[in-house]
Amino acid sequence: MDLIRFNRPQLTRRGFLKISGISSMSFLLGGCGTPTFEDLVGTLSEPINQKVEKLIFQPQKPVPEFAPSAIQPEALIVNSFRGTPIIDIEKYQLIIDGEVEQPLSLSMAEIQNLPLTSMIIRHVCVEGWAAIVQWGGIRLREIIALARPKSNVRYAYFKSADGYYESWDIASVLHPQTLLAYEKNGQPLPVENGAPLRLASPIKLGYKQSKWVTQITLTSHLTNFQGYWEDLGYEWFAGI
């Protein structure tokens, strides 16, 4: 595996188009009609559709993981381009919306009630460093399944509290080792590494692994905004 696949791109000016479909959606969730978490936990068994359904029920092949002795606690370099946002954990809600049957707004307490998955993987940053890290959290696929995505869903947008944004293909989102992590190396996730929730996955480069995720929007199409670094010229798929 070569760590650096491409040179730093030149800054390309793309214009500041509005991310339609993300900012306009959050209002749907704040108020009445949002079911409680307890109402939702039974919904996993209900039929979801086709392609997304197939990915949810026939998990893709896992990537080999590392032994605990391989963890490199000092090697993960904090890489934050807009500083560390301040998040009030008591008020924090993760929103899942977009082309779903059941939009969700979940507290950390509700998220931590879901099954904890732990994995030891390599984090690879295009700036030329890598680190073997243990991440603990919930599988993203479990939360997405609760939201019951519509059959045309092909992408997920991730919005972060620092203004960072990312988009992923749905197969990578639903990969069994794509986590929303709240633990790092067996400890609560430090805020500089993305607490309360960050993406962690062995199949994507570092810049795809959004920290401080506040909103996940499922959609059938990408907009002109594809990701913080992608919109400056970096590769979108960014698989490892």
Ligand X SMILES: Nc1nc2c(c(=O)[nH]1)N[C@H]1C(S)=C(S)[C@@H](COP(=O)(O)O)O[C@H]1N2
Q: How far, in Å, CA of 75 to CA of 26, rounded?
A: 37
Task: Answer yes or no: are the C-beta atoms of 94 and 106 closer than 8 Å.
Answer: yes
- Using a 10 angstrom Cβ sphere, with 0-12 exposed, 13-18 middle and 19 or more buried, the burial of residue 236 is middle
The reply to whether 79 sits near ligand X by the rule CB under 6 A is yes
- Helical axes 140-147 vs 50-57, angle rounded to 10°: 140
Which DSSP category does 122 fall into? Answer: E
Spatial CB neighbours of 152, under 8 Å, sequence gap ≥ 6 = 99, 220
**Residue 121 CB, nearest approach to Mo ion (Å):** 15
Tell me, residue by residue from 176 to 215, as one string, x for binding to Mo ion by CB under 5 A and - for no binding: ------------------------------xx--------
Contact positions with Mo ion (CB under 5 A) in 41-100: 79
From the CB of 100, what's the least distance to ligand X, in Å? 23
125 binds Mo ion (CB under 5 A): yes
Read off φ and ψ for residue 24, nearest 5 degrees: -80, -10
Of 63, 108, 125, 130, the one binding ligand X (CB under 6 A) is 125
207 binds ligand X (CB under 6 A): yes
Report H helices in 11-107.
27-30, 37-40, 50-57
Q: Which is nearer to ligand X, 157 or 207 (CB)?
A: 207
Q: How far is the CB of 134 from ligand X (least distance, A)?
A: 13
**Which one of ligand X, Mo ion, none interacts with residue 78, CB within 5 to 8 A by kind?**
ligand X
Q: Which H or E run contains 105?
A: strand 104-106
* Residue 201 interacts with ligand X (CB under 6 A): yes or no: no
**Is there a contact between 195 and 189 (Cβ–Cβ < 8 Å)?**
yes
Q: Which of 28, 44, 70, 78 binds ligand X (CB under 6 A)?
A: 78
- Give the rounded distance of the alpha carbon of 159 from its chain centre: 9
Q: Which does 81 bind (CB under 5 to 8 A by kind): ligand X, Mo ion, none?
A: ligand X
Binding mask 151-180 for ligand X (x = CB under 6 A): ---------x-x-x----------------
Footprint on this chain of ligand X (rule: CB under 6 A) = 76-81, 125, 160, 162, 164, 193-194, 206-207, 209-212
